[in-house]
Structures are given as structure tokens and as C-alpha cells.
Amino acid sequence: MQRSYVIKPELGKEYPRVSHGKGIYLYDTSGKRYIDGCSGAVTASIGHGVEEIAEAMAEQARKVSFAYRSHFSSEAVEELGAKLAEWAPGELNWSFFVNSGSEATETAQKIAIQYWQEQGRPSKTRMISRWMSYHGITMGALSMSGHVLRRKRFVPLLADYPAISPPYPYRRPDGMSLEQYARLCADELETAILRVGPEQVAAFIAEPVIGASGGAVVPPDGYFQRIREICDKYDVLFIADEVMTGVGRTGEKFGIDHWGVKPDLITLGKGMSAGYTPMAAAMATEKIIDTITRGSGLIMAGHTYSANPQSAAVSLAVLRYVEAHNLVEKAAVQGAYLLRKLRELADESPLIGEARGLGLLCGLEFVKDKRTKEPFPLSRGVAARVISRAFENGLLVYPATGGLEGVAGDSVILSPPLTITTEEIDELVDLLKKSVQRVQEEMRQEMQL
């Protein structure tokens, strides 16, 4: 084969070449079929090869693909903004378009800082986030992220933001009710704000359901309500990072809708364009945008491709598709079915400590000892093995190990397209079971050595 000059995630590894996709399936050039059990990176949420999207893409390309945002707006971008305003909770009516989740969280951070500057409070620049969180790979977004594996090489370059504990019900203190636990975790935010000083803190950022760093960790009821109260008490903005949870993934339009809490900023990515084009957004409330409009009138953010008509048209077509096929409601129903099947699998498997999730964002956490919940050392790479075995068996699964050695087990995410049928879920879980059993056997043999 011709030598490759493409830098891939694992250098030196041979990757199969993808040929095409249809619905929940992807095919490589050798003809092997894979169930996309994680929508790629929790992205391809309407499935592959949707004709309407290809049509919308071609139609826009024939008109105009790129016109710079400093020169023009476009029909596609205006309609996309209006659609998101209709979808978003509360007064979150304004969207700033970018190209990736990392850019979206950094833009939200900048808008938050600017909001305080415009009011004569320039010292409010610091962010507070949580361990077991992921907000992106660029330096600003990584500074906010508590994903140890992804940050550890770059720590000296990162901003030193305080991080609080995530709500992690599976590993809460013995005997503590979920209600008490929700309060305990949320109150850590108050302590952190007071330590840093409220006049230093611009915003708190959190994923409604923890994704890449923990594997679909769902907070207890009451947690986000209390977070909102604390943010209000100290004039700290609340950013809900919905890059993974937004646009129906969890069975509500936005993850935070499950708790009826209204953030000041929301970030979107992934499912917003379902993988058909790079597209992401930072959404802000009327109050924030009014304040900045009355101040400098300029948002100091943006990229060359921000708000380009081509990506906007594709994203708009995706949102319309989600609406037309009731995919938000379907995610709730099919997600409940998937979770039930995963819990059955967890009951049978000595390797799975917990199956959890919300809508079609589900996770499995692997443990060495189910009774004590003792995690495997990360060096054993249990989640990575499950992912490799599943890949061999024709199933794609997403890694969700945040690297908190000894504190959390390693995890994977199951997040198929929202279009998945019950029969397809059965097929997915059968392949997963086969893959987990294989790793179980490997671990059993190794532990005996």
C-alpha cells in the first residue's frame, strides 16, 4: 500500500478506510460492516447517508458556500439562529457560530468575561469547572477541562482554574442519599467561589451529563438547581456545555432541560450538524448580548469559517430533520430500552460496575471488584480492550476514561444515532456482549498469572 503521510490518532497503526455509511452502519473499503454504536464521537446523531442533507448541502453550494461574516449575513445563518432560539431554554436566543466544540466553549468563556468587563467588573475573568469534565482540546478549553489524560502533558501551559468534584452517584459516600449528595457536590461550588473571591470569577462551566471523561455520568436531581442558586448569589455565569448532550441526545432538546434550569450560556457542537459539516455554537441570553451591545458592541471572538452559509444550511437541514422525525422523543424511548439492555448485561458481567445514562447517551464503567467498586489500574486498558474487541466484531464504541487513577473506573460510551430501531439496539447489545465477554476472559486469565 502507498505510504501514508497523514498524522492519525495512533501513529504507526493501520486504520481501515471508510467507504460509505447508511443509517446506523458504516462500511470500510474491504466491505466490512460496523454498527456505529457511538455515532462516531457522539456526533452522527441522525445516522449516515441521509439524502435530504446531501440535497441541502448541494443546493447551498450551488448558491454560495462562503461569504465572510464581516461582509454578509445569509438566509441560512439567519434561519439557523432563529431555529436555535426557538429550541433553547429561557432567554438564550443568541448564537455565535464556530466550527468545533472546543471553539464553542472558549467563545462562551470569552463572552462571559466580556459581559463583566462591559459592566466595569474586569477582575471577573476566572472560570470554575469540575474534575471529570471535558470542554475541548485547545488550550483555553483544556484549561477548563478536568480530563486528566488529555491535560497532563500541557499542565504548565494551562490556566490554573479551580476545579470542584463532579457529582458521581455510583461512587458517592456509603449511606448518603442522592438528595444529600446533590447538595454536597453543588455546595463545593460556593466554597470554591468564596476561596477565589467572587470578584475574580466570571463563570462556572459544566456538562449536564458527563461524557468523554466519565461515561454518561448523570447528576442527581437537585444538583443543577442548587448550582443555579449559587451562581446567582455570587454573580457568576453558568455555562452549560451541551456539545455532547445538546440537540436531542439525552431525550430532551438540551440536557439541562431535564432539570428545568436556565443557563446563561450554552455551547453546542457534534449533533448540531450530526457530522455532515463542522459546526458549533455558543449561545447567550438576551441580557448578556444587550449588555455587550450597549458597551463595546463587538464580540472579540470568531474564526474564518464562523457562520459560513454552507455549514449553516447543513446544520439547519439537520435540525429540521430532527424535528420532522421526532428524534428527541425517540432518543428518550430508545434510550430507555438501550439502558435496560445494558443493565441486564451489567448484571451478568463481573467486569461492569455500572450501566448508566440518559436518553441515547449511555455508559459502562468497568471495575476489578463489583462489590468494593475497586477500579482496574488504568495501565490495564480495560476500556481500550473492549473498544478494540468491539471494533473487530464490527461495533464502534467511544472511550470515556478521564484518567482519574484510583478514583474512577475506566468507561465507554454507547450513543448510537437517534434513529436507531429496537432490533438494531438488540444487534448492538449482542455484539457488545460478545466483546465484553472476550475481555472478561482475557482479564481472568491475566489475573491468574
CB of 310 to ligand PMP, least distance (A): 18
What whole-number distance in Å separates Cα of residue 345 and Cα of residue 133? 26
> Considering the complex, what minimum distance in angstroms separates the CB of residue 104 from ligand PMP?
7
SS3 229: helix
Asked if 216 and 363 count as a contact pair (C-beta separation under 8 A), the reply is: yes
Handedness of CA 347, 353, 358, 363 (dihedral sign): negative
Which residues are CB-neighbours of 381 under 8 A, at least 6 positions away?
Answer: 410
Which of 133/349 has CB closer to ligand PMP? 133
Q: How far is the CB of 16 from ligand PMP (least distance, A)?
A: 22
- Name beta bridge partners: 48: 23
Specify burial of residue 234 (Cβ count, 10 A radius: 0-12, 13-18, 19+): middle
- Of 228 and 249, CB closest to ligand PMP: 249
CB of 99 to ligand PMP, least distance (A): 8
Question: Shortest gap between Cβ of 42 and ligand PMP (angstroms)?
Answer: 7
Residue of this chain nearest to ligand PMP (CB atom) = 101
For ligand PMP, the closer CB: 246 or 309: 246
Three-class SS of residue 215?
coil
Q: At closest approach, how far in Å is the CB of 134 from ligand PMP? A: 5
Residues in contact with ligand PMP by the rule CB under 6 A: 41, 100-102, 105, 134-137, 207, 211-212, 241, 243-244, 269
> Cβ closer to ligand PMP: 211 or 222?
211
Q: How far is the CB of 267 from ligand PMP (least distance, A)?
A: 7
CB-nearer residue toward ligand PMP: 271 or 409:
271
Min dist. Cβ of residue 153 to ligand PMP (A): 17
Is the CB of 207 or the CB of 410 nearer to ligand PMP? 207
- For the bound state, the minimum distance from the C-beta of residue 247 to ligand PMP, rounded and expressed in Å, comes to 13
Give the torsion through C-alpha atoms of 291, 293, 297, 302, to 10 deg: 80
- Residue 280 sits at φ, ψ, to 5 deg, of -155, 170
Q: How far is CA 349 from CA 41, 192, 306, 394, in A?
A: 25, 39, 46, 21
Q: Which is nearer to ligand PMP, 136 or 351 (CB)?
A: 136
Q: How far is CA 117 from CA 122, 161, 188, 205, 289, in A?
A: 4, 19, 26, 19, 13
Q: Give whichever of 292 and 387 is closer to ligand PMP, judged by the CB atom.
A: 387
Least separation in angstroms between residue 211's CB and ligand PMP is 5
* Complex with ligand PMP: residue 244 or 312, whichever CB lies closer: 244
**Backbone region of residue 168 per phi and psi (left: phi > 0; alpha: psi in -120 to 50; beta: other values):** beta
Pairing outcome for strands 94-98 and 33-35: unpaired
Coil, helix or strand at residue 164? strand
Per DSSP bridges, beta strands 94-98 and 398-399 are unpaired
For 291-341, give the secondary structure using H, E and C. Answer: HHHHCCCCCCCCCCCCCCHHHHHHHHHHHHHHHHCCHHHHHHHHHHHHHHH
Residues in the chain: 449
